[in-house]
Amino acid sequence: MNTKILYTTFLIALSGPVFASGSHTGGHGDMMKEMMIGMPGDASMVTRTIEVTMKETDDGDMIFEPSSFNINQGETVRFAIKNAGELEHEFVLDTIKENAMHKEMMAKFPEMEHDDPNAVRLSAGEEGEIIWSFTNAGSFEFACLIPGHYESGMHGDVVVEAVGGVEYTKGTVKKINAKSGKVTIIHEELTNLGMPAMTMVFRVAEADMLEKMNAGDEIQFIADRVKGKLTVIQMK
């Protein structure tokens, strides 16, 4: 079987339960419309360009320069990407969870290549670009998922900060359901959503948020509608 077809089949299989939970509204590749990290952007809406270099170091590490990005929610960014190394590398924007799953699959089938608008693979000396609209606030990741490259240092943080004067809301964690990825919070008024103080069930933007919560904890958080579902996108 063609490896690209196999990879697409695998991603569609993965996407089934994800769509059901409201994390995606579309598939990958040409079918993809919006992901947790955002969606393909319109070149006419680009607000800034970030130049990214991929390379190997003399001591054997593989790196991105810069190693992290801070972006405002709502920005459309052009990533101008250059492979200045001697090996093939790729640049993939996604959540940490999704990148981990794709990396595991590529370890089993190393000949696979990403063919999605949130990713580009470049041979030595090549240049490419991704235009991306960051519609959701939260913590995400960029990475090279070619086997061994992530472990050699090719990954970094993407922090998308909420804008527009959105304030943190105070709340108390009532219950955590790690299996379903949900948390029940007794919260004050959610002014950005126009919701009064009440007890409500939320999804979380990243699963590891639940690991930082315990029943009874006093937290401050930002919630928004993500794919039509109330979601905690930031907390402290």
Question: Any residues with CB less than 8 A from the CB of 211 and at least 6 apart, and which?
Answer: none
* Same fold yes or no, 3-161 and 169-235: no
Report pLDDT for 14. 43
Q: Is the pLDDT of residue 183 over 70?
A: yes
Between 143 and 168, name the one with better pLDDT.
143
Average pLDDT, the chain: 84
For 206, the 3-state DSSP assignment is coil
> Which stretch of DSSP H or E encloses residue 233?
strand 229-235
Question: Any residues with CB less than 8 A from the CB of 230 and at least 6 apart, and which?
Answer: 193, 200, 201, 202, 203, 223, 224
pLDDT band at 165 (very low <50, low <70, confident <90, very high): low
Q: List the chain domain ranges.
A: 3-161, 169-235
Region 55-80 average pLDDT: 94
Percent of the chain with pLDDT over 90: 57
The letter for the amino acid at 136 is N
Report pLDDT for 21. 28
Question: Any residues with CB less than 8 A from the CB of 133 and at least 6 apart, and which?
Answer: 38, 39, 40, 41, 42, 45, 74, 75, 76
Q: Is the pLDDT of residue 28 over 50?
A: no
Q: How far is it, in rounded angstroms, from Cα 125 to Cα 123?
A: 6
Q: Is the pLDDT of residue 17 over 70?
A: no
* Tens-digit pLDDT profile for residues 105-142: 999 887 777 678 999 999 999 999 999 999 888 889 99
H helices within 109-234, ranges in order?
Answer: 208-211
Between 158 and 22, name the one with better pLDDT.
158
Percent of the chain with pLDDT over 70: 84
Judge whether 185 and 221 are in contact, CB under 8 Å: yes
CATH topology of domain 3-161: Immunoglobulin-like (2.60.40)
Q: How far is it, in rounded angstroms, from Cα 195 to Cα 106?
A: 43
β 68-72/155-161 pair status: parallel
Report pLDDT for 129. 97
Q: Is the pLDDT of residue 164 over 80?
A: no
Homologous superfamily of domain range 169-235: Copper binding periplasmic protein CusF (2.40.50.320)
Report pLDDT for 25. 34
Q: How far is it, in rounded angstroms, from Cα 38 to Cα 205?
A: 12
